Amino acid sequence: MPSNRLEAPLRKLMGPGPLDIHPRVYQALTTPVIGHLDPAYLKTLDRVGELLRNVFATQNRLTHATPGTGTSGMEACVANLLEPGDAVLVCVLGYFGDRIRQMAERQEADVTLLEGEWGKPADPERIKEELDKRSYKVIALVHAETSTGVLQPMDEISRLAKEYGVMILLDSVTSLGGVEVKADEWGLDAAYSCSQKCIGAPPGLAPVTFSDRAVEAARNRKHPIRSWYLDITLLDKYWGSERVYHHTSSSTLNYALLEALQLIDEEGLQHRFNRHLKNHKALVAGVEAMGLEMLVEPPYRLPTLNTVRIPEGVDDVKVRGYLLEKFNLEIGGGLGALKGKVWRVGLMGYSSSVENVLFFLSSLSRALAVQGCKSDLSSGLDAAMSELGA
Ligand SMILES: Cc1ncc(COP(=O)(O)O)c(C=O)c1O
């Protein structure tokens, strides 16, 4: 007789997300569901906000997690900051920058695109040229472009935004909790992330933070915010001191998010960033010693998401299928312009570990061998271990 039990294979998640989840976070998911206005639950929500302020490095009062995945955070930021006719400069150097562009166009903002090669960061010089041409309300860009594996340096862009009095809208979906995000220092007006990557919780919530200036601008718009669900002036009445019902907040997901944030707090942010960097360097050393190449130049490599070029003649889909079937290992394929050209290997949150680096190198070497592509695994493992100082 077929079993009615819910079954899912136990995978090792090393793709662009979701990633592996710490047992304590799984356990938090079984905490009893309670009402969204229960005083005990409101304490949970307050603590989520408090710990999110730490990871965003901000004092912003309006810092919380919108219901929905990272895309809901993106929509919250775009829909609240932009109204019809607002001039926005959108930097598109990958798949997710383009998603911001699409959303800004749906808000009927006056969108100027600053496009660049996928695999490279946005050039502050070009941003400056655009800012010299006309006045903008917002610059929108992606801090950690998951489609290319590029980490966007922020210091110069932040300086320019301050000099020209432009707001910054930042996608920190693949950086928050794994790479430094300095919302206050960089002067971010709206930033969003997701629960399922470096934060280490299941998908379903999107951490967001809005500066006081952004909240003020949202309150004083000419046109109403086009998304009712993600209108921060309404959400603020639930998250803030008024405690007015807005939506039935998922206590289950917020418990998990809180536990994941508590784990981050216990580890310490700087220690966590160092761990992500160390494991990334070991993976790169291993991959390169095996004879493979990275897509991104060293200064711009994102520690949390590694893009490895697929060697000539190797079948992307077969390799990923083999890894999943034989080793229960999930890695990501390329998106958009990079489809079939790169693998995307995530080392985020609980998945960023020495064991995972070594497991990935060995499994990939075997998958390549099955395709008739030789790689030097022994050198790869040696290089990774020596990078780790082991
Ligand atoms: C940089 C970036 N932005 C936005 C998103 C959208 O997030 P989600 O798929 O959680 O809606 C992703 C998803 O991977 C992403 O990597």
Q: Which residues line ligand 1 (CB under 6 A)?
A: 16-17, 69-71, 74, 96, 142, 146, 171, 173-174, 194, 203
Q: Could you read off the pLDDT of 164-180 as tens digits, one per residue? A: 999 999 999 999 999 99
Q: Which atom of ligand 1 is nearest to the CA of 72?
A: 11
Q: Which of 101, 147, 194, 199 to mutate to test the pocket of ligand 1 (most atoms within 8 A of CB)?
A: 194
Q: What's the confidence (pLDDT) of residue 390?
A: 81
Cis amide linkage into residue 18, ω under 30° from 0 = yes
Q: Which fold has domain 268-387?
A: Aspartate Aminotransferase, domain 1 (3.90.1150)
Q: Could you read off the pLDDT of 264-321 as tens digits, one per residue? A: 999 999 999 999 999 999 999 999 999 999 999 999 999 999 999 999 999 999 999 9
Q: Which atom of ligand 1 is nearest to the CA of 142?
A: 1
> What is the whole-number distance in angstroms between the Cα of residue 94 and the centre of ligand 1?
12
Nearest alpha carbon to residue 24 among 343, 272, 263:
263
The model carries a pTM of 0.98
Query: Domain spans of the chain?
Result: 23-266, 268-387
> What is the whole-number distance in angstroms between the Cα of residue 149 and the centre of ligand 1?
13
Cα of first residue to Cα of last residue in the chain, in angstroms, is: 51
CA distance 57 to 212: 15
Q: Which of 147, 152, 174, 345 to mutate to test the pocket of ligand 1 (most atoms within 8 A of CB)?
A: 174
For the cut 90, the answer to whether the pLDDT of residue 1 exceeds it is: no
Three-state SS at 296: coil
Q: What is the CATH number of domain 23-266?
A: 3.40.640.10
For the cut 80, the answer to whether the pLDDT of residue 2 exceeds it is: no
Is residue 92 a contact partner of residue 101, using CB atoms and an 8 Å limit? yes
* pLDDT interval class at 245 (50, 70, 90): very high
- Per-residue pLDDT, averaged over 37-47, amounts to 98
